[in-house]
Amino acid sequence: MLEVLPAASSALARELAAERRALAGAPHDLARATALAWRYVEAGRSDGDPRYAGLAEGAIAPWLASARPPAEALLLRATLRQNRHDFAGAERDLAALLARDPRNAQAWLTRAIVAKVRGDFALAQASCVPLLRLADVLSATTCLADVASLSGRAAPAERALAAALERAPAAPAAQRQWAHVTLAEIRERRGDARGAEASYQAALALARDAYTVSAYADFLLDARRASDALALLGDDRRADGLLLRRALAERALLAPGRQATQRELRARFAASRLRGERLHAGEEARFALAFGDARDALCLARENFALQREPRDVRVLLEAALAARDARAAQPALELLATSRLEDARLGALAARVRSSR
């Protein structure tokens, strides 16, 4: 026995099962297939369970086999490729889609997210700009503020996003949730712990997705509030990212079950490598820093940084370089901080330590 799956008794599970049966009865219905695939994508984002991505891809597989997939399938494939960290593939799909339909707001937004993750802030900003005329004000402002906050304009980005949230109390919950967690991260990078925590809590009051829980747990761990982090994480052990935060919190608390959690997470990373997946190199680097070998952590952090260049990826590379006493390995992170003018008190301190250790 490999795993005991939860019983399909939740309302979501019943709804998805009903939609699968409906699609089986109408296998050529693209609208039904894409609607089901997006439900899977949202479920995966909420739970952090990668299996939903496979189900989403399966729902639209007949259309992806076409030499010219329909726009709906292209957007979904780009999103799934982004989730698998196939950023080059996602960008190809988005470029093809936008060449056909330059008014596709979701395609522009997805391209902005992919560019931001890769550290291409100029392309990210250029992809956010069309949202000013194609999307609602809150979504456009969130996109632009996120990129601006990573490009030396954190203070005006925070003000613009906070004002946009105040002006949009009736915006859909998903849009407000994204805006709140983006504002929380901006405030955290600027050293406003109280404001950041208020924004994280506002985001979680709207939706408890894996990304927000992970980000808030990291905030609590950095504040040495491991008990609060463990309470936030609850009993959910499905997502590797959440399990990593649990392992870090349990270590800080010397919790009785900490060694079992570490063994489970180590086995998951090993299984991922056997499958040829390298989706969690950054998180595995964090695990190696805490529970393994500094040289291994540095190799993983460098591998991760070649694909992803968000602040957390910069941080793990700087920390791994310091732990392995290899300041030169951190040079790509130092260059990104210099060229982007990213404002982050914690990263600035780490960068100063790296430069002084040369």
The pLDDT assigned to 283 comes to 95
- Asked whether residue 22 is assigned to any structural domain, the reply reads yes
User: In this predicted structure, what is the pLDDT of residue 57?
Assistant: 85
Specify the pLDDT at position 114.
96
226-270 pLDDT per residue, tens: 999 999 999 888 889 999 999 999 999 999 999 999 999 999 999
Is 42 within the bounds of a domain? yes
Q: For 243-248, which contacts have Cβ atoms below 8 Å and span 24 or more sequence positions?
A: 243/268, 244/283, 244/286, 244/287, 245/214, 245/217, 245/218, 245/221, 247/287, 247/290, 247/291, 248/221, 248/286, 248/290
How high is the pLDDT of residue 2?
A: 54
Determine the angle formed by the axes of helices 210-222 and 173-189, rounding to 10 degrees.
20
Q: Are residues 140 and 210 in the same domain?
A: yes
Whether residue 16 sits in one domain with residue 98:
yes
Domain boundary among 228, 245, 278: 228
> Of the candidates 18, 344, 321, 307, which has an alpha carbon nearest to the alpha carbon of residue 154?
344
Residue with tokens 């009993």: 235
Number of domains in the chain: 2
Phi-psi map region of 136: left, alpha, beta (phi>0 left; psi -120 to 50 alpha): beta
CATH of the domain at 58: 1.25.40.10
Say whether both 67 and 28 belong to one domain: yes
Within the chain, which residues score under 70 in pLDDT?
Answer: 1-9, 48, 278
Contact 115, 129 (CB under 8 A): no
Domain boundary among 85, 119, 153: 119
This prediction has a pTM of 0.90
Q: Which domain holds residue 102?
A: 12-119
Question: 111 with 154, same domain?
Answer: no
SS3 label, residue 149: helix
Final residue of a structural domain among 72, 88, 119: 119
Residues 62 and 158 occupy one common structural domain? no
pLDDT value for 28: 84
Tokens encoding 79: 């999103």
CB-CB neighbours of 244 under 10 Å: 25
CA angle 275, 284, 336 (to 5 degrees): 115
Question: Token pair of 151, please?
Answer: 């490009």
